[in-house]
Homo-oligomer: A and B are copies of this chain.
Amino acid sequence: MTTERVSALLTDLYQLNMVQAYLDHDETRTAVFEFFVRTLPARRGFLLAAGLEQALDYLENLRFSAAEIAWLKSTGRFRQNLLDYLADFRFSGDVHAMPEGTTFFANEPILRVTAPLPQAQFAESRLINILHFQTLIAAKAARMVLAAPDKALVDFGMRRAHGAEAGTMAARASYIAGFAGTATVSAGREFGIPLYGTMAHSFIEAFDDETAAFAAFAQSRPDNLVLLIDTYDTEAAARKVVALAPRLKAAGIAIRGVRLDSGDLVALSKSVRKILDAGGLGELTIFASGGLDEDSLVAFAEANAPIDGLGIGTSLTTSADVPNLDSVYKMQEYAGLARRKRSAKKATWPGRKQVWRRYGADGRMAGDVLALEGRGHAGEPLIELVVQNGRRLRPAPSLVEVRRRAARELERLPEPLRRLEAGTTYPVEVADELKQLAAEVDRRLALQQPRP
């Protein structure tokens, strides 16, 4: 949970090993690392940047407590110079980033850290941990929003998200992408995300009679009253709702909708719609849930299922079809020299980069250029300075502003990407100056690393 402090020791041991060695050898000059995704999975034509606020919070608040330092010392692994360094640790570097809610593609950095090498290196593990997850979920949620643009989509997935932080941050990332809200109360409190919730089957089962359960719930929760009608027999329960409605109305309680959570949701939504309409409850909405993903949403739209809102759980919060991205945080420059990894299939573009985005006459995105910072290219530059010398340059945008940006970004996607067509690629050109720099780095390395 971001509301609580996450230990600075949530990192990989090798970061501490490396910082120890950097300090010992006085390798503390300025390093530049960038976070990006190397390749997009087949079912992700685009990604949506999310998690920057938590990444900046992490850098800004990264401290080692006395107890943590004492524990590190007790392991016998580290020397006093490292322990002293960590005790005084403050992030003092710069951060450049794409704003949250921006669409991005393979090899395009969404975050750059420029800082003394031990600082920039140490932050790697947790920065990836933060940015990877929210970006993963925002991209998944965006697919659902595009598949059901007129429906109220609600995050129901905390229970099967991977732990506490995942549950909370999935609510945040999906709200950015255009979800209407979440069931997760702590996410409502922490981020001001609208909260949604009805009842579970156990509530119905706790009463001996389904109508009695509906009536009891209605008395306790008269506002936004949504009744769960699939515990025993969905159509029979819809008729009970029709029978109950006048009694509730007399008590001043309006039923707002019903929820279906199992069975053939297309067929049931149609039959329930008929029962409600015939019973004079045409204004009631139908909310569906239960194992849904973007493919279900497409199927509902094609079948004209009369479903007004959807609760989406596990497929969203675990990004079930693509539960991870090939995201990395790589050193691109150190001590004034561009650097690059050349490992098989893992080579990266060196240097400090900027992404330029062009738009067509229709306002839709027409292509990106991955370029070196400081070179002019056509279009709009996406990466901006957000932290200087360890301090944020401006207050964080509100989550509603981020969500608005994301909505505009999704609108401007090329039509095949908006339609979630599989295998669609977006043109990202590598600028000539970047290719030249990569070749220069390779020549320098070849001179310094002669083959035997």
Question: What are the interface flags for A195-209 relative to B under an 8 Å C-beta threshold, 1 for contact and 0 otherwise?
Answer: 111111111011111
Whether the pair B14, A199 counts as a contact (CB closer than 8 A) is: yes
Cα–Cα distance between A425 and B132 once the two chains are bound (Å) = 35
Q: Are B341 and A20 in contact (CB under 8 A)?
A: no
Query: A71 touches which one: B121, B189, B263 (CB < 8 A)?
Result: B189
Q: Which of A216-224, A302-310, A407-415 contacts B (4 or more CB under 8 A)?
A: A216-224
Q: Which of A248-256, A342-350, A372-380, A429-437 contacts B (4 or more CB under 8 A)?
A: A342-350
What residue of chain B has the Cβ atom nearest to residue A327's Cβ? B160
CB of A38, distance to nearest CB on chain B (Å): 11
Within 8 A of B (CB), among A70-85: 71, 75, 77
Determine if B16 and A185 form an interchain contact, defined as CB atoms under 8 angstroms apart: yes
Residues of B within 8 A of A399 (CB): none
Among A219-268, those with CB < 8 Å from B are 219-221, 223, 230-233, 236, 239, 261-264
Do A203 and B10 have beta carbons less than 8 Å apart? no
A18 to B200, Cβ gap below 8 A?
yes
CA distance A188 to B340 in the complex (A): 32
Contact, CB under 8 Å: A14 / B198: yes
Which residues on the B side are within 8 Å of A117 (C-beta)? 206
- Asked whether any CB of chain B lies closer than 8 Å to the CB of A401, the reply is no
- Tell me whether A448 is interfacial, beta carbon within 8 Å: yes
Could you say which of A317-325, A351-359, A360-368 contacts chain B?
A317-325
A159 touches B124 (CB 8 A): yes
The interface size bin for chain A is: 35 or more
Given A20-B221, A164-B165, A318-B324; A14-B232 close (CB under 8 Å):
no
Chain B residues with CB below 8 A from A12, complex form = 156, 158-159, 183-185, 197
| Bound Cα distance from A154 to B263, whole angstroms | 43
Neighbouring B residues of A20 by C-beta, 8 Å? 220-221
- A343 & B21 in contact (Cβ 8 Å cutoff): no
Contacts of A25 in B (CB 8 A): 216, 219-220
* CB-contact partner of A13 in B185, B314, B341, under 8 A: B185
- The interface-forming segment of A1-9, A276-284, A381-389 is A1-9
B158 near A162: Cβ-Cβ < 8 Å: no
Q: Shortest distance in angstroms between A276's beta carbon and chain B's nearest beta carbon?
A: 15
Write out the residue numbers on chain B whose beta carbons fall within 8 Å of the beta carbon of A21. Answer: 199, 203, 216-217, 219-221
Residues of B within 8 A of A75 (CB): 188, 195
Chain B residues, Cβ within 8 Å of A128: 159-160
B residues within 8 A CB of A264? 344
* A7 interface neighbour in B3, B132, B201, Cβ under 8 Å: B3
- Taking the complex as formed, is A163 at the interface, i.e. its CB lies under 8 A from any CB of chain B? yes
Q: Is A394 an interface residue (CB 8 A)?
A: no
Q: Which residue of B lies closest to A217 (CB)?
A: B21
Closest B residue to A345 using CB positions? B262
Contact of A14 among B183, B263, B327, B345 (CB under 8 A): B183
In contact, B162 and A202 (Cβ under 8 angstroms)? no
Query: Which among A163, A185, A217, A449 has the highest number of chain B CB atoms within 10 Å?
Result: A163
Could you name 24 residue pairs across A and B whose Cβ atoms are closer than 8 Å?
Answer: A1-B10, A4-B7, A10-B167, A12-B183, A12-B184, A12-B197, A13-B195, A14-B199, A16-B197, A18-B200, A22-B206, A75-B188, A121-B200, A121-B202, A124-B159, A162-B166, A162-B318, A164-B164, A201-B330, A205-B340, A230-B343, A231-B342, A232-B449, A262-B346
Beyond A11-B185, A33-B202, A124-B200, list 6 extra A-B contacts (CB 8 Å): A10-B185, A13-B185, A18-B202, A27-B207, A206-B339, A262-B346
Q: Footprint of B on A, CB under 8 Å?
A: 1, 3-7, 9-18, 20-22, 24-25, 27, 31, 33, 68, 71, 75, 77, 117, 121, 124-126, 128-130, 132-133, 136, 156, 158-169, 183-186, 188-189, 195-203, 205-210, 216-217, 219-221, 223, 230-233, 236, 239, 261-264, 314, 318-320, 323-325, 327, 330-331, 334-335, 339-346, 445, 448-449, 451-452
